[in-house]
């Protein structure tokens, strides 16, 4: 019975779960950023081009 309570009290498994969850969150965020950045960069670049073309310097 003592071994059972020592097993229940051990937190080695919880640390592993924490690392798995944190790794999954990092991978998810990286995937979201990877998929949205090209579209956002293209939109900003196009808007900047349109704005600069509309300015009359002389």
Asked, for residue 1, whether it belongs to a domain, the answer is: no
Asked, for residue 26, whether it belongs to a domain, the answer is: yes
Asked, for residue 19, whether it belongs to a domain, the answer is: yes
Asked, for residue 24, whether it belongs to a domain, the answer is: yes
Asked, for residue 46, whether it belongs to a domain, the answer is: yes
Question: Average of pLDDT values for 12-19?
Answer: 76
More confident residue, 13 or 21: 21
Considering its fold, how many domains does the chain have in total? Answer: 1
pLDDT confidence tier of residue 4, bands split at 50, 70 and 90: confident
| Helix H or strand E segment including 34 | helix 12-54
- Its domain, for residue 34, covers 11-54
Asked, for residue 5, whether it belongs to a domain, the answer is: no
């Amino acid at each position: 019975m003592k071994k059972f309570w020592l097993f229940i009290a051990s937190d080695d498994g919880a640390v592993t779960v924490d690392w798995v969850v944190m790794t999954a969150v990092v991978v998810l965020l990286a995937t979201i950023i990877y998929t949205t950045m090209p579209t956002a960069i293209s939109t900003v670049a196009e808007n900047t081009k349109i704005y600069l073309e509309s300015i009359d310097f002389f």
